[in-house]
Amino acid sequence: MNYADIHSCDIANGEGVRVSLFVSGCTHKCKGCFNEEAQAFAFGKPFDRATEDELLRLLEPSYIAGLTLLGGEPMEPQNQRALAPFLKRFRERFGSAKTLWIYTGCVYEDLLDAASRWHTEVTGEILSMCDVLVDGPFVEELKDISLKFRGSSNQRILSLR
């Protein structure tokens, strides 16, 4: 997996001050995507152990509320498989002291459906570590800049814990 960017002090993508990881790779291709360059799986830098270590270091300060995953698409099957071991490290290190938000163009029910292409052997594990899932594709015709933590009115903010 590659990643497009890391924001170490993000207040736009979840509650509180957060560390945000923008993964690369997305097959949704939403019209009006705010991060179109990150749709390419090869865009950015490799997500490796050094990147994981840096993210965990950035998450240490007490004023950091948690980690946000967005993209690209964190729930692309290959991205899920790359993120699951890191999220285990995140939870082992911080327990429930830091929250995990995941933004996905997938719909929650599709992630749960074993017949869906979005459901993998690690999907349930990832969702069990997630506090808040912002789901649904960005729909340009439903764009609403007054919405908190989402871009279009079809998207949902789901508390999973």
Residue boundaries of the structural domains of the chain: 2-159
CATH 3.40.50.700 fits 2-159, yes or no: no
Place of tokens 């429930």: 96
pTM for the model stands at 0.95
Percent of the chain's residues with pLDDT above 90: 90
> For the segment 91-106, what is each residue's pLDDT rounded down to a tens digit?
999 999 999 999 999 9
Residue 110 to residues 33, 75, 104, Cα–Cα distance (Å): 21, 11, 11
